[in-house]
Amino acid sequence: MHYMILNYTPPSEYADADAVAAAAEGVVWGAYTRALIEAGVLVGGNALHPSHTATTLRVRGEGRDIQDGPYAASKEQFGGYYIIDVPDLDTALHWAALNPAASSGAVEVRPVVMRGSA
């Protein structure tokens, strides 16, 4: 089953695209990514630009409401995601606990709806 691991980190840790890129290739995040690859569970994933670069869109009636910034105002920012293929939620939670964001922010784990399944 595929699970998405969503990384939420304090905005101060990754203030710009250069910081995000450096972290993604750095010791901590690089080691986590390599561990997922070596275990054969990584399906995909990406780091995201900092939350201040987000644009949120809502359609209300026939109009569009566009807002600069992320959808939710929170202490953490959605910084990236991994999609893993593991047998069950317990295994997904094991990998989520190893995620670097778990120690300074939060990690959300969600099952992915696959085409042709409910």
Question: pLDDT tens, 93-106?
Answer: 999 999 999 988 89
Residue 97 in any domain: the answer is: yes
Which pLDDT band, with edges at 50, 70 and 90, does 73 fall under? Answer: low
Residue 64 in any domain: the answer is: no
Q: Which domain range does residue 105 map to?
A: 2-52+76-111
State yes or no: pLDDT of 118 exceeds 60: no
Residue 60 in any domain: the answer is: no
Residue 31 in any domain: the answer is: yes
| Stretch 29-35: mean pLDDT | 93
CATH number for the domain including 38? 3.30.70.1060
Phi/psi region, residue 69 (left: phi>0; alpha: psi -120 to 50; beta: rest), is: left
Q: For residues 47, 68, 71 and 20, what is the CA-based torsion angle, rounded to 10 degrees?
A: 20
Span 35-68, pLDDT tens digits: 999 999 999 999 888 878 888 888 999 999 888 8
Residue 116 in any domain: the answer is: no
Residue 68 in any domain: the answer is: no
Per the structure, how many domains does the chain have?
1
Q: What is the DSSP letter of 116?
A: T
Nearest to 50 by CA among 7, 20, 21: 20
Tokens of 15: 């203030």
State yes or no: pLDDT of 11 exceeds 70: yes
